Amino acid sequence: MKQIKELTKAEEQVMRILWQLNEAIVKDVLEQMPEPKPAYNTVSTVIRVLETKGFIDHKAYGNSYVYFPTVAEEDYKKFAFDKVMNNYFSNSYQSLVSFLVTEKNLSINELEEITKLAEKLKSNKK
């Protein structure tokens, strides 16, 4: 797997749209953005930066470029989650769950579901 870099908010917004559409021209990406929409040139610049970072590539059809993701959404999610776990929870799932329970008012049922999932994942790794 290639080295994944962190995305800015604008880059992540464009990537979310490309992950959803699978491929798109700049106009397609712009149409999916919420109001107030950025300028066409702004979106085009973000797309070129994403291509430089290795997140997307393009196919040329005459004068038009159709862009598509080269990094899977799941791979970026894992990268982003690992970064949060390392930076905010010292890679401790106990700290993460404690945070969710105290700060996000996790219910007993939700906590039980997380525990079941953790046990299932643990038994799958054996």
Beta strands in the chain (DSSP E): 56-61, 64-69
Q: What is the CA radius of gyration of the chain?
A: 19
Residue 1 pLDDT exceeds 60 = no
What pLDDT, on the 0 to 100 scale, is given for residue 125?
Answer: 65
> What are the angstrom distances between the C-alpha of 33 and each of 27, 65, 113?
10, 19, 34
pLDDT digits (tens, 9 = 90+) for 69-97: 999 999 999 898 888 888 888 888 788 88
* CATH code assigned to 9-69: 1.10.10.10
Domain layout of the chain by residue ranges: 9-69, 73-125
